[in-house]
C-alpha cells in the first residue's frame, strides 16, 4: 500500500536544507471516487503516488490537526481521488469528501483549524515547462432541465454525446469571493444538437436570467467542436467568451 520512510528531518546544511519524511504509495484500485475503506493513508510530509491505474483510484489524508501540512504528487497515469478522513473536510466541502488530483500535479494540504484541510494548486499541473488544467473528455449531456443536467467539475469539459434538449450544469459560484475569478471551458463536440449549458442555482449567464441555460451550438462546417468559456469575477454572474470558428 505504501513504502513509508522514517518520519524525521535530516539537516543537510545548517539553516538551509532539510530532508523531510517521505513515502511512495499505490492508490487503492477500483475505488471509483468512493471511500470504500482501507485507503492508503498519506502519513508523510512528502507523498508520491506512483501508481494510479484508473480514474478515481484513491488515497486518504491523515486527521486534520491545526499546523499540519503535507504534499501530494500524483505520478500515476490517471486522476487520483484524495479523501479527507472521517468527518474532516477539504476546502469547505462535504464531510469525508475528496479532491480530484490530475496526473502530473502537486498539491499542498494544510490544516489551520481542527477537522479542516485547505488545498493549494487544485486543478493545475504541468507538462514539462507548460502549465496544465484539469479536464474531462467524453462527457454525456443529460436531462432537459437544470436539475437533471450533467454537472461539470473540471476546468475544461469536452461533451461528446448530446441528445436533443440535453445539457450540462456549471459549478456553483455562490461562494466566489472578491478579487477572485473562475473560468470554465465547455466544448460541444458533436455535429447535431445544441448543448444547453445551465448556471447552478440562481446564478446567471450574461443577461439570460437566474438558472436559464445558454444554448451552445453544435459543431458544424468542418469544426471539431464549438467552444465557449464561461468566466466569473463576482458571485452569481457568468460572462461568456465564444469561439469564432
103 with 162, same domain? no
Residues 232 and 142 in one domain: yes
Check if the beta carbon of residue 42 is closer than 8 Å to that of residue 66: no
Q: What is the pLDDT confidence band of residue 63, given thresholds at 50, 70 and 90?
A: very high
Phi, psi of 105 (to 5 degrees): -145, 160
Examine the pLDDT at 65 and tell me if it is beyond 80.
Answer: yes
**With the CA atoms of 90, 96, 99 and 104 taken in that order, what torsion angle do they form, in degrees rounded to the nearest 10?**
110
pLDDT of 8 strictly over 90: no
* DSSP letter string, 19-87: EPPEEEEEPBTT-TTS--S-PPB--SSEEEEEE--STT-EEE-----TT-EEEEEE-SSSPEEEEPPTT
Please return the burial class of 175, using the count of CB atoms within 10 Å of its CB with bins 0-12, 13-18 and 19+: exposed
Same domain membership, residue 180 and residue 88? no
Which of 97, 126, 155 terminates a domain? The answer is 126
Grid cell, residue 66, equals 491545526
pLDDT digits (tens, 9 = 90+) for 123-155: 999 999 999 999 999 999 999 999 999 999 999
What confidence tens digit (pLDDT) does each residue in 204-237 have? 999 999 999 999 999 887 789 999 999 999 999 9
E strand or H helix at 229, and its extent? strand 226-234
The mean of the pLDDT values for the chain is: 92
User: 115 and 165: one domain?
Assistant: no
Specify the residue for cell string 539553516.
15
For residue 3, name the pLDDT band (cuts at 50, 70, 90). Answer: very low
Q: Which residue has the cell 494540504?
A: 109
- The predicted-structure confidence for 162-208, as pLDDT tens digits, reads as follows 999 999 999 999 989 889 999 999 999 998 999 999 999 999 999 99
Q: What is the mean pLDDT of residues 44-52?
A: 97
Domain closes at, from 126, 158, 183: 126
Q: Which of 91, 126, 161 is the last residue of a domain?
A: 126
8, 108: one domain: yes
Please say whether the beta carbons of 129 and 107 come within 8 A.
no
Co-location of 117 and 23 in the same domain? yes
Are 143 and 193 within one domain? yes
What pLDDT score does 175 carry?
87
* For residue 55, pLDDT beyond 80: yes
Same domain, 118 and 227: no
Helix (H) or strand (E) holding 3: strand 2-4
**What is the structure's pLDDT at 5?**
44
Rounded to whole angstroms, the Cα distance separating 85 from 62 reads 6
Percent composition of the chain: helix, strand, coil (DSSP 3-state, to 5): 0, 45, 50
Span 74-96, average pLDDT: 97
Domains of the chain: total: 2
- What is the model's pLDDT at position 245? 57
At residue 68, what are phi and psi to the nearest 5 degrees? -85, 135
Q: Return d(Cα 115, Cα 87) in angstroms, integer.
A: 7
Question: For the residues 80-91, what does the mean pLDDT come to?
Answer: 98
What average pLDDT does the segment 94-110 reach?
97
Q: Residue 74 pLDDT more than 80?
A: yes
Instruction: Tell me the whole-structure pTM to 2 decimals.
Output: 0.86
Domain extent for 226: 134-242
Distance between CA atoms of 216 and 200, rounded to whole angstroms? 16
> Same domain for 151 and 229?
yes
Amino acid at each position: 500500500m505504501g513504502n513509508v520512510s522514517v518520519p524525521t528531518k535530516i539537516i543537510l546544511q545548517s539553516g538551509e536544507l532539510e530532508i523531510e519524511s517521505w513515502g511512495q504509495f499505490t492508490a487503492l484500485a477500483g475505488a471509483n471516487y468512493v471511500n470504500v475503506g482501507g485507503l492508503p493513508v498519506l502519513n508523510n510530509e512528502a507523498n508520491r503516488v506512483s501508481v494510479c491505474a484508473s480514474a478515481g483510484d484513491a488515497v486518504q489524508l491523515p486527521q486534520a490537526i491545526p499546523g499540519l501540512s503535507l504534499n501530494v504528487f500524483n505520478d500515476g497515469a490517471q486522476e487520483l481521488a484524495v479523501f479527507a478522513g472521517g468527518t474532516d473536510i477539504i476546502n469547505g466541502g462535504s464531510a469525508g469528501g475528496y479532491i480530484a488530483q490530475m496526473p502530473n500535479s502537486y498539491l499542498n494540504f494544510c490544516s489551520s483549524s481542527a477537522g479542516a484541510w485547505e488545498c493549494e494548486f487544485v486543478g493545475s499541473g504541468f507538462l514539462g515547462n507548460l502549465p496544465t488544467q484539469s479536464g474531462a473528455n467524453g462527457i454525456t449531456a443529460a436531462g432537459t432541465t437544470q436539475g437533471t443536467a450533467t454537472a461539470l467539475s473540471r476546468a475544461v469539459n469536452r461533451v461528446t454525446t448530446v441528445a436533443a434538449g440535453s445539457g450540462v450544469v456549471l459549478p456553483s459560484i455562490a461562494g466566489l469571493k472578491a478579487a477572485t475569478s473562475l473560468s470554465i471551458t465547455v466544448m460541444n463536440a458533436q455535429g447535431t444538437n445544441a448543448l444547453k449549458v445551465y448556471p447552478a442555482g440562481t446564478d446567471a449567464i450574461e443577461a439570460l436570467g437566474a438558472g436559464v441555460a445558454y444554448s451552445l451550438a453544435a459543431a458544424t462546417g468542418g469544426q471539431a467542436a464549438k467552444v465557449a468559456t464561461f468566466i466569473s469575477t463576482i458571485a452569481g454572474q457568468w460572462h461568456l467568451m465564444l469561439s469564432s470558428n
